[in-house]
Amino acid sequence: MGYGDKSYTDAEAIAAAKSDPVYADDVFEIDDDGDSTKDIVFQLAGATTGKTMTITSSQTDNRNVTLPDATGTLALTGAAPAAHAIDGAAHTGEGDSVTKDVGTGAGDVAAGNAPGAAQAAAILASCQRASNLSDVASAATSRTNLGVDAAGTARPPLWTTTSKSANWTASAWEIVICTANTFQVDLPAGPSDNDQVIVKNRGAGTITVDGNGDTIDGAATAVISSQWESLTLRSDGTTWDIV
């Protein structure tokens, strides 16, 4: 160890004589014990005033630190960190955060190995439940269930047709064919914006269409009194309009 131009022995004597061994960075250096031209010099000129850098070791194994290595960066050598289980195998020397590739090369994760396969199955099942995707592997089936066409454009909802001759509560996007008798058709309660219902009177009776809590063109009900007449109704989420 050197202290300015002092020898190792001189530096020891100076250190022993100081009650508070604090040295100025422009005079403190560490020399190689076999070649005094090899030095480590400490320089704090770039530090912020009033700030202290503390170097603390928390390692339980021996470590060698090379400053710098051949690439100009810090290099850590010595005992490797603890093994981490990935794809069912132990991988060492990779630290606490590890990324593995899927493939057949050295160190790769084989496709289908647990936990990957189990996670994929769980994701698939979750998607099917959440989005009604009965077959995620089939693009056509998924598009149908999501209501989009091949280009990903949303399609109009599919209409259903029901024939009735007695009181009935319609669903959104339902065509109600009234085949006979006089009775009432209630519109869906709590409709969404753009929900639609068609009611057609095919019989000779009178059909009363009830808004089920919402108005129809400002009224509580609408009436189809003639055979073969129909009403097409569209909701904005709060009221129904005859269109």
**What pLDDT does residue 102 have?**
55
145: which 2 tokens? Answer: 């269930």
User: Over the stretch 103-158, which tens digit does the pLDDT of each residue have?
Assistant: 556 655 555 454 556 666 666 666 655 555 555 667 777 776 666 666 666 666 78
The answer to whether the Cα torsion of 204, 159, 209, 219 is positive or negative is negative
The yes-or-no verdict on residue 74 having pLDDT over 70 is no
Query: In whole angstroms, what is the distance from residue 48 CA to residue 64 CA?
Result: 29
Query: In whole angstroms, what is the distance from residue 153 CA to residue 172 CA?
Result: 21
Residue 61 banded pLDDT, cuts 50, 70, 90: confident
The yes-or-no verdict on residue 191 having pLDDT over 60 is yes
> Between 95 and 243, where is the model more confident?
243
DSSP reduced 3-state for 130: helix
The structural domains of the chain, ordered by start, are 2-41 (no CATH), 117-146 (no CATH), 160-242 (2.60.120)
> Between 204 and 128, where is the model more confident?
204
**What pLDDT does residue 46 have?**
77
Range in 137-151, 155-169, 182-196 the model is least confident about: 137-151
The yes-or-no verdict on residue 218 having pLDDT over 70 is yes
**What pLDDT does residue 28 have?**
67
* Percent of the chain clearing pLDDT 70 (strictly above): 52
> Between 56 and 192, where is the model more confident?
192
Cβ proximity of 211 and 223 under 8 Å: no
Q: What is the mean pLDDT of residues 207-212?
A: 98
Cβ proximity of 218 and 189 under 8 Å: no
